[in-house]
């Protein structure tokens, strides 16, 4: 079962059918398991999801209505770590990682600060950066200021400046005025 989740999480190019509750992993395989000698570097590098990560992935895969963060977090004994795992590994459906990131931003920004600052520091995570910058007002002030400063020093500083200017918290908005 966990191998199918890895396949579901790692097959970004695979067309997806809108899942129904409860969903099964998006990709099923009937092929023999890949032996260690023929394993691709991507497969070898893919972390193995635990039962909590699989449960959170399934819950977040449901298209509508989106489950609440409270509901999703209740599926894991370590919700922050599990949500971070899902953000880093879920590729299909595309909203799974973004929903997990939104829960981290709005409910666990302090614990996830390092990851959030990483998102706003790299062009590869531009979607997560935009989500984070749009949620600055929902974060504790010190975390939001640190994330905003990190974004302004990063490769997407112009995009960051525009998003930070939309903040309603005066201290955050002052960083770009």
Measure the CA–CA gap between 61 and 93, rounded to whole angstroms: 6
Give the pLDDT confidence score for residue 45 in this predicted structure: 59
Q: Coil, strand or helix: which one is 138?
A: helix
Residues 174, 147 contacting (CB under 8 angstroms):
no
Tokens 């973004």 — which residue? 98
Give the pLDDT confidence score for residue 47 in this predicted structure: 75
pTM of the predicted model over 0.85:
no
Residues 83, 100 contacting (CB under 8 angstroms):
yes
CA–CA distances in Å: residue 172 to residues 9, 41, 152: 35, 42, 12
Measure the CA–CA gap between 73 and 103, rounded to whole angstroms: 9
Measure the CA–CA gap between 133 and 94, rounded to whole angstroms: 19
CA-closest candidate to residue 84, choices 56, 64, 42? 56
User: Where exactly are the structural domains of the chain?
Assistant: 1-108, 111-177
Give the Cβ contact number of residue 16 at 10 Å: 14
Give the pLDDT confidence score for residue 59 in this predicted structure: 95
The 3-class secondary structure across 16-77, one letter per residue, is: CCCCCCCCCCCCCCCCCCCCHHHCCHHHHHCCCCCHHHHHHHHHHHCCCCCCCHHHHHCCCC
User: How would you write the pLDDT of the chain (177 residues) with one tens digit per residue?
Assistant: 443 444 344 443 333 434 443 333 443 333 344 444 444 444 445 678 788 889 999 999 998 899 999 999 999 999 999 999 999 999 899 899 999 999 999 999 999 999 999 999 999 999 999 999 999 999 999 999 999 999 999 999 999 999 999 999 999 999 998
CA–CA distances in Å: residue 49 to residues 54, 64, 83, 88, 132: 6, 24, 11, 11, 25
Q: Give the DSSP letter of residue 155.
A: T
């Amino acid at each position: 079962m966990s191998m199918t989740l890895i396949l579901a999480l790692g097959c970004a190019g695979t067309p997806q059918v809108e899942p129904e509750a409860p969903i099964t992993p998006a990709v099923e395989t009937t092929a023999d398991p890949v032996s260690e000698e023929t394993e691709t570097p991507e497969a070898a590098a893919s972390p193995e999801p635990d039962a909590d990560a699989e449960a959170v992935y399934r819950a977040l895969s449901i298209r509508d209505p989106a489950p609440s963060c409270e509901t999703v977090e209740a599926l894991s004994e370590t919700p922050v770590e599990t949500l971070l795992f899902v953000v880093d590994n879920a590729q299909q459906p595309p909203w799974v990682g973004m929903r997990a990131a939104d829960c981290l931003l709005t409910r666990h920004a302090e614990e996830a600060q390092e990851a959030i600052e990483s998102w706003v520091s790299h062009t590869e995570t531009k979607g997560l950066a935009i989500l984070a910058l749009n949620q600055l007002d929902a974060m504790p002030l010190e975390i939001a200021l640190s994330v905003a400063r990190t974004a302004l020093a990063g490769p997407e500083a112009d995009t960051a400046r525009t998003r930070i200017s939309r903040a309603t918290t005066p201290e955050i908005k002052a960083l770009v005025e």
